Amino acid sequence: MSADVTTMKTAAEAELAQAFAQAHGKLPGGKAVAAQRQAAFDVFAKSGLPHRRVEEWKYTDLRALMRDAKPLAGPPDAAAKALAKTAGALAGDLEARRLVFVDGAFVPELSDTAKLEEGLSIGSLADALAAGDRVLTRYLGRLAPGDDVAVALNTALMGDGAVIRVAAGSVIKRPLHLVFVSSAKSTASFVRSLLIVEPSARVMLIESHEGPAGSDYQVNAALELFAGDNAHVDYIKLIADGADALHVSTLGAAIGAKARFNAFSFIAGGAVVRNQLFLRFDGEDTVAGIRGATLARGQQHADTTLVVNHIAEGCQSREVFKAVLDDEAHSVFQGRIIVSQGAQKTDAKMMTRALLLSERAEADSKPELEIFADDVQCGHGATVGALDEELKFYLMARGIPEAEAESLLIQAFLGEAIEGIEDAGLRESLMEAVVAWLKMRGTKS
């Protein structure tokens, strides 16, 4: 006798299926996009939400963590838009060109699209999908891994996002800032963006996410980033969602030859965060720095999952990820460096360190190297530990009170990652955010 076993759908899975059934016909895009959405949805339908028995999601059991799926957000009202005016402050005053999205929808009147620099083009994904933009269809879905369920759901339900193109040789001095703001409504937004940086072009893109505490909104964001040969791209992701929010975001990036690529992820918010980075070095002699800092307290759960694929020869990558955890917070770092057979002379070093400020905090680190070439320099290191009592005593013996001594040591710990950011103003803003976070220690957040 064979039993026909079908996994019971969770409430969240049923709600996602319902949301897709209802929205499918109304989401932007023509027939081809609709088919792409359906195919992506089928990936989800087949496997359901990822859970702890799926290796890549072992430490972030989304099926357990996601009790329900919120309805898709409607167009933002005036109150929601008002919230967005001061959003993105975490990045500091970089005089960036702001592109504001509220509950996942582009808000032109809050955005700065006037007087675009030569070589820079910016549009909304919804418009591009509706218009059947050729460029868009050529790039969309090429870098975000289709078999990843978070990406599949993003593709199935994407409503809006930014489509940015920097023409060959253009140096865009003013940083671009995608400001994603969620309102107090208990809804879900699915945003998808594209950044196409043509050869020898230069740009810095900041992506920030935030929303009010007390709202259990959900965000699923994905960015596909194409950097051509000799391009120079700085990409900063700031995750500062409200304390009750669920945030899943994905970067899919392919970097050309002799390029410079710096990515930094800063996680300092959200109840559950999954930050995914899938990077590919397609051209030789590229230099990349992939770094991140996580601050978590209470019962926050913050997962950074990184896959770096060295395909071409002679590329150098440095991965540095730091986490500071207080109370019962839980951080996850999964970092995999793959060196393909042809990627000789690869130089890749990955370091992940977690600092536990409480005995109940937990850090899971899973560094992996998969090396198929024989002439490479690769290494990884992982540490999890408490503050160094000897160093703390040294500082205190000079008259520095305990809380301040700990704060200095924690800033120094995170500094190693934050120092990798090229922009000095942004480095300072993030250190200020760290100091502000540290000041909240011991007080109920």
Q: Which residues bind other proteins (CB under 8 A)?
A: 389-391, 393-402, 404-405, 408-409, 411-413, 415-416
Question: Toward other proteins, which CB reaches closer, 152 or 293?
Answer: 293
Comparing CA positions, the residue from 190, 101, 192 lying closest to residue 142 is: 192
- Nearest-approach distance from CB 339 to other proteins, in angstroms: 29
Pairing of strands 232-240, 287-296: unpaired
Rounded to the nearest whole angstrom, what is the least distance from the CB of residue 69 to other proteins in the complex?
Answer: 42
Closest contact distance (angstroms) between CB of 415 and other proteins is 4
Choose between 106 and 321: whose C-beta lies nearer to other proteins: 321
Q: Is 93 helix (H, G, I), strand (E, B) or coil?
A: coil
Q: Is 298 left (phi over 0), alpha (psi -120 to 50) or beta?
A: left
CB 126 within 8 A of CB 28: yes
Q: How far is the CB of 211 from other proteins (least distance, A)?
A: 32
Question: What one-letter code names the amino acid at 111?
Answer: S
CB of 411 to other proteins, least distance (A): 7
Q: Nearer to other proteins by C-beta: 378 or 391?
A: 391
195 vs 90: CA distance, rounded Å: 22
**Cβ distance to other proteins smaller for residue 196 or 410:** 410
Q: Which is nearer to other proteins, 272 or 418 (CB)?
A: 418
Do the Cβ atoms of 201 and 168 come closer than 8 Å? yes
Strand duo 202-210 + 176-181: pairing: parallel
Looking at the Cβ atoms of 4 and 390, the one nearer to other proteins is: 390
Q: How far is the CB of 260 from other proteins (least distance, A)?
A: 25
Look up tokens 């919230």; give the residue.
83
Give DSSP secondary structure letters for 294-318.
Answer: EEE-TT-EEEEEEEEEE-STT-EEE
- Shortest Å distance, C-beta 323 to other proteins: 16
- On whether the CB atoms of residues 73 and 105 are closer than 8 A, the answer is yes
How many CA atoms does the CB half-sphere of 318 hold within 13 Å?
12
Least Å distance, CB 224 to other proteins, is 35
Least distance (Å) from other proteins to the CB of residue 355?
Answer: 12
Burial annotation 158-175 (CB, 10 A radius, 16+ → b, else e): bbbbbbbbbbeebebeeb
- For 145-244, strand residue ranges (E) read 162-166, 176-181, 188-197, 202-210, 218-227, 232-240
Taking a C-beta distance cutoff of 8 angstroms, is the pair 196, 114 a contact? no
CB nearer to other proteins: give 137 or 411.
411
Structure tokens, 228: 């051509």
Contact 305, 275 (CB under 8 A): yes
- Please, which residue, 65 or 391, has the CB nearer to other proteins? 391
Q: Residue 341 forms beta bridges with which residues?
A: none
Least distance to other proteins, CB of residue 266, Å: 17
Of 262 and 407, CB closest to other proteins: 407
User: Pairing relation of β-strands 232-240 and 377-385?
Assistant: unpaired
Q: What's the token pair of residue 83?
A: 């919230």
Please identify, using beta-carbon distances, which residue of 295 and 308 lies nearer to other proteins: 295
Q: Nearest CA to 408 among 363, 383, 429, 439?
A: 439
